[in-house]
Amino acid sequence: MIVLLGETAAAREINRQLKAEGAAVIRMANEQPLDRVLSESGERLAEGNLFGRSADEACTAVVDASHPSCQTEFLPLRRWCEREDIPYVRLERPETSFRENPLIHAVTGWEEAMAKLTELIRLKGEAGNRSVSVFVTTGSHQLETLLQAPFAPRARFVVRVLPEGRLVQKCQNIGVAARDIVAMQGPFSKELNRALFKAYGTDILLMRDSGSAGGADTKLSAALALKLEVVLLKRKAPLPGLTVYSERELMAWLQPRLGGISVSAGAGS
């Protein structure tokens, strides 16, 4: 049995491939209270079976295909895997390569991103004496901190999220106006990104380095073509442990752990 973490496009594709080959898969979303799951599962932990399955369905591997911003949320599960000697593999996307550009402000964490946004929104606001349009493509995880930041009254946040009801509802619940929610699923071409940025009068693009598979290259090129300021959240260094960089590499690693099931490699990410 494979435990698959995350709700990314990569996680959905991995789940589809595994299910198509007859593999037993349990999905775990980052919203699940892992600390509580781990602390309240003493009996299962003692048996080496956190997920309450029979011995012949015990967990053989945990695949972490979650969003980069969720990396630390699964630390309790990673530690549990280490104690139980269960393989834990993280799927990462290769970083985006780009030339240095004064419009690209690379930051290494959310606090640094907030500081850079504070500076840019102040400068843009003073220059134009108007509200500053920030196009947000970093997901819904830290939206509250954006909308509650001291600079929020001087900014308009346009948020692009997956077209899932719970995500749209979350955006509305925390105060994002309906007209500022772009519910779409990628991949997005440079032309489509450019059209969206232009339609919303974007001044600043807030994005993560999700690699070319996550569309970071087309977002960057579209933003630079429009001469937008870009706050680029670089990914944190991978946590210790096994890391793969494509779905093909992951599937090749999983094959001998699936009890004889032959897993097709599929397209690389």
Q: What are phi and psi of 242, to 5 degrees?
A: -75, 130
Residue ranges making up the domain that contains 154: 104-233
pLDDT of residue 164 exceeding 50, the answer is yes
The pair of structure tokens assigned to 224 is 């630079």
From 14-18, 53-57, 178-182, 262-266, the region with the lowest mean pLDDT? 262-266
Backbone phi, psi, residue 104, to 5°? -100, 120
Radius of gyration (C-alpha) of the chain in whole angstroms: 20
3-state class (DSSP) for residue 258: coil
Give me the count of residues in the chain. Answer: 269
Phi, psi of 161 (to 5 degrees): -135, 170
The domain that holds 70 is classified in CATH as 3.40.50
263 vs 252: CA distance, rounded Å: 8
pLDDT, tens digit (0-9, with 9 covering 90-100), for 214-265: 788 999 999 999 999 999 998 776 667 788 888 889 988 888 877 644 444 4
Residues 36 and 69 grouped into a single domain: yes
Work out the average pLDDT over 40-57.
45
Contact 136, 196 (CB under 8 A): no
CATH code at position 144: 3.40.50.1980
Number of domains the chain is built from: 2
Same domain, 124 and 216: yes
Half-sphere exposure of 29 (CA within 13 A, CB side): 5
How far apart, in whole angstroms, are the C-alpha atoms of residue 15 and residue 173?
A: 30
The type of residue at 97 is: S
Verify that 47 and 139 share a domain, yes or no: no
